[in-house]
């Protein structure tokens, strides 16, 4: 079920992330309305141990509740991109059957190695899942 009936409700969620997640060091996330029923969420979330989540979401609400129409999330540690998620469909990739377009790009061939990402959605916020994933990642030296 989509918890956001309006862009305003999503903005409140975004701008109170630090109250919801004590591990967030800071956030540069900003929601920018681009049209009467279209907005973008862009920016970074910085977490301990040098982790940074780069966020892009394309948001619409023309058919009722707010939906994430498209997204891209990159996870970095220092200057190293660890993995990313995007909503680009890959219908010919049999490993993504049943979950396409939600997928994660992971090493060793990060551009072409995709795995299903069942924790992501177009109708629920993805940031809690992503933040929790980073928070529970073991830090390797």
Spell out the domain ranges in the chain: 7-135
Residue 95 has pLDDT above 70, yes or no: no
| pLDDT of 53 | 98
Give the HSE-up count for residue 112: Cα atoms under 13 Å, Cβ half-sphere. 1
Mean pLDDT calculated for residue range 40-61: 97
Cα 101 to Cα 90: distance, rounded to the nearest angstrom: 6
Residue 94 has pLDDT above 70, yes or no: no
Mean pLDDT estimate for the chain: 89
* pLDDT interval class at 133 (50, 70, 90): very high
Q: Residue 35: CB partners within 8 Å, gap ≥ 6?
A: none
| pLDDT of 26 | 93
Give the HSE-up count for residue 31: Cα atoms under 13 Å, Cβ half-sphere. 19
pTM for this prediction: 0.90
**If DSSP codes are grouped into helix, strand and coil, which group holds residue 12?**
helix
Residue 141 has pLDDT above 70, yes or no: no
Residue 30 has pLDDT above 90, yes or no: yes
Residue 1 has pLDDT above 60, yes or no: no
């Amino acid at each position: 079920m989509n918890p956001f009936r309006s862009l305003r409700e999503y903005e409140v969620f975004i701008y109170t992330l630090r109250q919801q997640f004590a591990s967030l060091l800071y956030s540069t996330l900003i929601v920018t309305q681009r049209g009467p029923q279209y907005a973008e969420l862009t920016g970074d979330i910085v977490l301990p141990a040098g982790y940074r989540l780069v966020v892009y979401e394309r948001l619409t609400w023309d058919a009722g509740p707010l939906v994430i129409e498209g997204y891209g999330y990159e996870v970095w540690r220092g200057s190293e991109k660890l993995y990313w998620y995007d909503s680009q469909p890959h219908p010919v990739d049999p490993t993504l059957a049943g979950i396409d377009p939600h997928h994660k790009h992971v090493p060793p061939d990060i551009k072409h190695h995709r795995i299903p990402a069942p924790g992501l959605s177009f109708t629920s916020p993805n940031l809690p899942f992503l933040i929790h994933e980073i928070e529970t990642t073991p830090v390797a030296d």
